[in-house]
Amino acid sequence: MPKLTKDGLRSQREQAYDALRNLLILQQLEAGQRLREPEWAGRLKVHRSALREAFARLAAEGLVERGAQTGYFVPRLDARDAAEVTKIRLALECLAIDEVCADATIGLEAVARACDEVEAFLKGGYALGVIEADRRFHEAIVDAAGMRRLSALYLRAPLPLINQPTEDRAFWLAQCRRTLEEHRAILANLQRRDAAAAKAKLHAHITHRANLPLSQ
């Protein structure tokens, strides 16, 4: 592969970082999987030096782990990890809900649009689309608060969606329909500026997806 310019390397590094981070946040890579440089450089069409920089950045964020000798791996999340991620997501999103509900002028169009996207992807049976739209729904709530640092923290923190894996399509569809219903309920409470009800619905939604009996 020809030598990259400094700007080209930076561009490829960002390309690799964004693509891998999205897959990791959406839990689309198998836990414990080794991320082999030649394979991923080819898949992402980037120079291996750019890929290594992306891996290092992801490792610093806790989204991948460096092996004892060489290479990077997808972390395995145990029950404690899942509980920690869920508690942090709840804390950040509940803060956003308080800010949104304190200001009746804040628009919720992006939150509503994410609900519509979940419904559209569900109707089409597009599993990854549903997961991506689910993530956008939660990001839209945080962004609606209008707090730049909160949005940056939520976006860059290692907070993957926690879902119970299943190969049962009927179960998956039922879970997606429930997700959509819960999203709509959270949105309705945000529109009414009822922070307590919105946070209660959010708590039930996030913890049931992770199957975690967290206290409120």
Contact 85, 159 (CB under 8 A): yes
What is the chain's mean pLDDT, rounded? 88
Question: What's the chain's Rg over C-alpha atoms?
Answer: 19
Longest CA span, the chain: 57
Nearest to residue 161, comparing CAs of 210, 201, 101? 210
What is the CATH number for 118?
1.20.120.530
Residues 132 and 67 placed together within one structural domain of the fold? no
End-to-end CA distance of the chain: 54
Query: Which residue matches tokens 């945080």?
Result: 142
Residue ranges making up the domain that contains 68: 6-73
pLDDT single digits (tens) 40-61 = 999 999 999 999 999 998 998 8
| Ranges of H-type helices in the chain | 6-25, 37-44, 48-60, 79-101, 109-124, 127-144, 148-156, 169-191, 195-210
User: Phi and psi dihedrals of 63, rounded to 5?
Assistant: -90, -20
Count other Cβ atoms within 10 Å, centred on residue 70. Answer: 8
Q: How many domains does the chain have?
A: 2
For residues 33 and 60, membership in a common domain is answered with yes
Task: Indicate if the pLDDT at residue 215 is higher than 50.
Answer: no
Overall average pLDDT of the 138-165 stretch: 88
This prediction's pTM: 0.79
pLDDT at 216: 39
Q: Are residues 100 and 203 in the same domain?
A: yes
Looking at the structure, tell me whether residues 179 and 87 fall in a common domain: yes
Task: Report phi then psi at 72, rounded to 5.
Answer: -125, 150
Sign of CA dihedral 9, 25, 98, 83: negative
Share of the chain above pLDDT 70, in %: 89
Q: What is the pLDDT averaged over residues 134-163?
A: 90
Q: Which amino acid is at 49?
A: S
Local structure of residue 27 (DSSP, 8 states): T
- Looking at per-residue confidence, does 64 or 10 come out higher? 64
Domain match, 33 and 101 both:
no
**Are residues 182 and 106 both part of a single domain?**
yes
Q: How many CA atoms lie within 13 A of 14 on its CB side?
A: 5
Residue 167 has pLDDT above 70, yes or no: no
Query: Average pLDDT for residues 70-83, to the nearest whole number?
Result: 87
pLDDT in tens, 125-144: 888 888 889 999 999 999 99
Query: Among the three residues 52, 73, 94, which one is the final residue of a domain in this structure?
Result: 73
Model confidence at 164: pLDDT above 80: no
